[in-house]
Amino acid sequence: MQINHANQPSAGRRASLATALLALVTFAGTVHAGEHLFGYVKGTEPLPKGAREFYQFATSRDDKGQGTYHAVDYKTEFEIGATDRLTLAAAFKSISLKTSGLVIDGYLPKDHRFGLKASGIELEALYNFLSPAKDGIGLSTSFALNYDRIDKHSGQQKNRISGELELLLQKYLLEGQLIWLGNLGMETTHARRVAIADLPPDFDWPTGPEMEIELKFGTGLSYRFAPRWYVGAEALYETEFETEVGQERWSWFAGPSLHYGGQRWWATLTYVRQLAGGGEFYAGQTDTSLHLIEKTESELRLKIAFNF
């Protein structure tokens, strides 16, 4: 596996960051409850008891710097308020992908193209501790369990089970016209790739168990500029550690969000661009200021939800 390492924080700084994040995410969770002002950063508010929402997400991931790379992740989710504090959700995931002209040892084995394919399922639970409107600051935690059978980067078969825990914070400013959100999360993953028969003998495509830990930080600020319309900006930091290479990657994404919230449905459109990244690079990668093996240069996400 030909991998370069650069742009990495020092080992001490990395360890401090990891320790701080791990300590903070001990109480963490994932929320897809209620209305999403952003594409990625999540709010704390649960659905009220008995309320039900249907979500459709689509995320376009584009460009790895060379060749052609387009992937769209789809998620269809149903969510219900089990109690006024506990929200439960189940989601069905699918993916379409097109990659050509770029081979990355260990990650992208060959050109690949397919339309919509079922890729996995997700189960989530959110528990709300503090309300942003009532308690000054909102605090929720949630846990998401994921099973995927397709590697979202290469489109090849890969069985992956992960658990994601997040701590979610929310603050209303200007009586709720301006909203701040903050997320801290940790995802642990166990994965195993399915062998590919026709690969060159020197291509690295390990089929043994892989274990990874990903730490996430997100923050966003959204302003209601007109009735039902919010505009905001969000920033995301993600870093992943795995047994073979230590810190495999890190990246900063940021971009704007536009949200419309109606009485019975809402929609959010978000564009984020990778501002900086590091960890592993692929052989011949020209822009070494970004991580482009597991991430792309940009993502566009659309969410639409209906409550009933």
Partner 1 sequence: MAHASRLLCLALPAALVGSTSGYAVTYLTVEQAQAALWPGVKLAETTIKLTPGQRKAIEKAAHVRVRQPEFTAWRTPAGGWFFVDQVVGKHEFITYAVALTADGAVAGLEILDYRETYGGEVRNEKWRAQFAGKTSAAPLKLDQDIKNLSGATLSCRNLTDGVKRLLVIYDLVLKNLR
Least Å distance, CB 185 to partner 1, is 24
Least Å distance, CB 56 to partner 1, is 9
Identity of the residue, 23 or 133, whose beta carbon is nearer to partner 1 in the bound complex: 133
131 binds partner 1, rule: CB under 8 A: yes
Task: Fill in the amino acid letter for 119.
Answer: S
Size of the site for partner 1 (CB under 8 A): 40
H/E element holding 188? strand 178-193
231 binds partner 1, rule: CB under 8 A: no
Angle at 201 between CA 197 and CA 204, to 5 degrees: 85
Tell which one of 71, 186, 215, 221 touches partner 1 (CB under 8 A). Answer: 71
Distance CA 8, CA 291 (A): 11
136 binds partner 1, rule: CB under 8 A: no
Stretch that binds partner 1, among 41-49, 195-203, 242-250, 284-292 (CB under 8 A): 41-49
Contact set for partner 1, span 277-306 (CB under 8 A): 300-302, 304
Tell which one of 13, 49, 113, 190 touches partner 1 (CB under 8 A). Answer: 49
Tell which one of 12, 134, 202, 286 touches partner 1 (CB under 8 A). Answer: 134
Yes or no: say if 31 and 126 are a contact pair by the CB < 8 Å rule. yes
Tell which one of 3, 47, 103, 290 touches partner 1 (CB under 8 A). Answer: 47
Which long-range contacts does 142-145 make (Cβ < 8 Å, 24+ apart)?
142/28, 142/29, 142/30, 142/31, 142/33, 142/166, 142/168, 143/29, 143/30, 144/29, 144/30
Tell which one of 1, 18, 72, 82 touches partner 1 (CB under 8 A). Answer: 72
Instruction: Give the 3-state secondary structure of residue 134.
Output: coil
76 binds partner 1, rule: CB under 8 A: no
Distance CA 226, CA 204 (A): 53
User: And the tokens for 32?
Assistant: 């897809």
81 binds partner 1, rule: CB under 8 A: yes
Tell which one of 233, 261, 275, 288 touches partner 1 (CB under 8 A). Answer: 261
Distance CA 247, CA 232 (A): 31
269 binds partner 1, rule: CB under 8 A: yes
DSSP label at 47? P
Yes or no: say if 252 and 299 are a contact pair by the CB < 8 Å rule. no
Interface residues toward partner 1, by CB under 8 A:
35, 45, 47-49, 51, 58, 60, 62, 70-72, 81, 84, 96, 131-134, 172, 174-177, 224, 227-228, 258, 260-264, 267, 269, 300-302, 304, 307
